[in-house]
Structure 1
Amino acid sequence: MKLRRKRSPLRISALSLVSALVAAGALTGAATSASAQTTAVRMDYTCTTSLGPSAQMTVWVVGGLPDEGAGLNTVARHEPAYIDVDLDLRELRPVLTMAGGVRLDTDSTATLDAHITGPDGTRTTQASFTVAPTWLTTTQGTAVRAAGSFPTQYLTTPGYYDLHVDDLTLTLRPERADGTPLGTVTASCSHDPAQNDLLGTVWSQSAIFERPPRPSGLRVVSTTPTSVTLAWEASSWWNPTQGYEVYLDGGHTGLVTEKQVTLTGLAPDRQHRAKVVTTDVQGIRSTMSQGLIFTIPPA
C-alpha cells in the first residue's frame, strides 16, 4: 500500500416476545459480515407489551463495523459507511404454551434506535430488522435471530464516531404450524440510561483510497428452496475488471466474471446476508457492497 503525501486528503492506492405468545428471554451472538469487525454490547431491556404484562429481556446487539480504510473499524470520509447489526434471542421462558409450537418469519420485525456521536455532533438513526424463520416448539435452547442494518452513514468530518444503542421495538406475527395467524404482538423496550450502550467506534479517515468502485444495486433475481440468483451493478475504472467476489454470511463463495451469480446447495427456509466485491486485473479490490438480507423459501 503506497502513500502519497498531499495537503488535501491522503491518497492511498492499491424476540423475545415471541414471546409474548411464547416467551421473554435473552439475546446473544450473530453472524459476522465479511470485511467487518464484529462488536457487541449487552443491553437489559424492560418491555411494555400489547398483551398487557411487562417483560425483561437481556439483549446482545451485535454490529459489523466497516473495515474500509487503513485498519479495523475505519472508513474513508468521502465514502458511505455501511453498518450491519444483528439480534439473537435465546433462553426463552414460557408465557403461553401452544401445541405444535409457533412459527416466526420475516413478517416479524424489529427496530433499534441509536445515536452516533462524533466530531460533527450527535445524530440519531434507527436500524431495521427482519426475523429469521424460526419454529418454537420448545422453550429451551431455542434461538430467534434477526438481521438488519443502519441507514447509510456519511462520516465526512474526519475523526472518531461512537455508535450508541438506545430503545428497541418489536412487532411479532406468530402463526400456527398450519399457517393460521395468531395476531400481532408488539413490545416497546427501554434500557437503564446508566448502562453501557456503546456498540463500537468507527474512525473516519481523511484519505482517498484508489480502488475500484464498490458494486451497487445488489438484488435477488429468483429463489428456490435450495438456491438463490443474485445480480448487481458495477462501474469500471482505469484497470480492467477481473471479476466479482461474492460473500454469503461472511464466507467467500468464489469469483464470477458476470454481474450475476447463482448460489446452490442452500438450506430451505433460511435467512442470509450477501455482499459483493469488485476485483481488477491487478488484484485491487473494492470495498464491500451494501449487504442484502434475503430468505430462502421453505421446501
Structure 2
Amino acid sequence: MRKKWTPFRITALSLVSALAAAGALTGAASPASADTSAVRVEYTCTTSAGPGAQMTVWVVGGLPNDGAGSNSAPGNQYFYIDVDLDMRELRPVLTLAEGVRLDGDSTARLGARIVGPDGTRTTEAAFTFAPKWLQTTQGTAVRAAGAFPAQVLSVPGGYDVRVDDLALTLRPKRADGTPLGTITASCTHDPAQNDLLGTVLVQGLIAERPPRPDGLTVVSTTPTSVTLTWQGYPWWNKIGGYDVYLDGDGGHTGFVTENQVTLTGLTPDTQHRAKVVTVDVQGIRSKMSKGLIFTLPRA
C-alpha cells in the first residue's frame, strides 16, 4: 500500500530565513524567480518553400524557483516554464531573394515531454517572433519568446523537461511591410540527441505566500513605453505593493503601490517579457506572475 504524501507547510518568510541561515540565499529580497537552462537541438525540417532543410535551435528555458532551492516547485501548486528560441540558421528554411523582415505575426510551437515519477505527460509552448530585419539568415540569430502552459505536479521527485518537435509559421515582409506570403516548416530531431532542457524538483512543501498577480495586460504602448495593469489579491497581511520585472530577474524596474505601471525609455521595435511580484507589508513575496510578452511599435 502506497504511503500517503503529506506536504510540509511553511510561510515564505520562514523559508527564506531558513535558506539564508543555511547559506542558500543572500537575503530576503531575492525574488521567487527562475533559473536559465538551455539545450541545443539540430532539427530536420520539411518546408512549404521547397525541399527538406537542417536547422540549429537553442531552446532556452526559465525553470521555476518556487520551492526550496534552485529549479524547484511545491507539489500540487501550479508553476510556469518560460522558454525562448534562438534560431541561428534559418537560411535553409527561409529562402531569401532579398532582405526581409519578420514580425510578431510569425509564430512557432514547440512540443515537450515532462518525465517524472508519475509517468510522462506532453505539453506545448507557443511563441511569437521578435522583430528582425534579415539580409542574410546564415548565422543570424532570430529569436522568439513563449511559455508552456501552467504545470501542476503532485508526486515529489525530479521531472525532466525534454523538448520535442518544432513547427514554424513564418510571414516575411518587405521593408515597407508588404507581405511575401506564408512559409511553414515542420521540424523533428533525432531521438538520440540530447533533448533535456532541465529538471524540475517537485517537493512535499507548501510555501505560503501572497497569491501571485494575475491577468497581466498591456493597456497601451508607444515606440518607447508601455503601460501594464494586473489583478492583485488579498491575503493574511496587507499588500504593500508590487515589484515589476522586465526581461528576466535582473530587469527589476521598480516598486509600485498600485496594480498599474508605465515603463519608459524602452527601445522601439523590440520584444519584451514582463512579470510582477506581490509584496506584503512584512516583505513576504509571492511567486512571479505568468510572463506577458509584448512588442513595442516601430518609431
TM-score tier after normalising by the smaller chain length:
0.7 to 0.9
Whether 1:279 aligns to 2:279 is yes
5+ residue gaps, structure 1, are 1-6, 15-32
Aligned to 2:289: 289
Greater than 6 Å deviation, 4+ residue runs: none
Which has the higher mean CA deviation after the structures are superposed, 83-92 or 60-69? 83-92
Normalised TM-score (structure 2): 0.88
Q: How does 1:138-287 map to 2 (within 5 A)?
A: 138-139=136-137, 142-250=140-248, 251-287=251-287
Q: How does 1:32-181 map to 2 (within 5 A)?
A: 35-91=33-89, 93=91, 96-99=95-98, 101-139=99-137, 142-181=140-179
Give yes or no for contact 1:34–1:247 (8 Å, CA) kept in 2: no
Summarize deviations over 1:254-273 as a string: whole Å, max 9, x none: 00000000000111111000
State the Cα RMSD in Å: 1.7
How many percent identity over aligned positions? 72
Summarize deviations over 1:207-265 as a string: whole Å, max 9, x none: 11121111011111111111100000111111111110000001100000000000001
Aligned-pair CA distance for 1:78: 2.6
Closer/same/farther in 2, CA of residues 97 and 161 from structure 1, 3 Å limit: closer
- The AA in structure 1 aligned to 2:247 is D
d(CA) in 2 for partners of 1:256, 1:227: 17
- Residue 142 of structure 1 aligns to a residue whose secondary structure is strand
Summarize deviations over 1:72-130 as a string: whole Å, max 9, x none: 0001113211000000122554774444x110011100111111111221111111110
- Residue 53 of structure 1 aligns to a residue whose secondary structure is strand
d(CA) in 2 for partners of 1:162, 1:190: 19
5+ residue gaps, structure 2, are 14-30
Give yes or no for contact 2:132–2:142 (8 Å, CA) kept in 1: yes
d(CA) in 2 for partners of 1:206, 1:8: 7
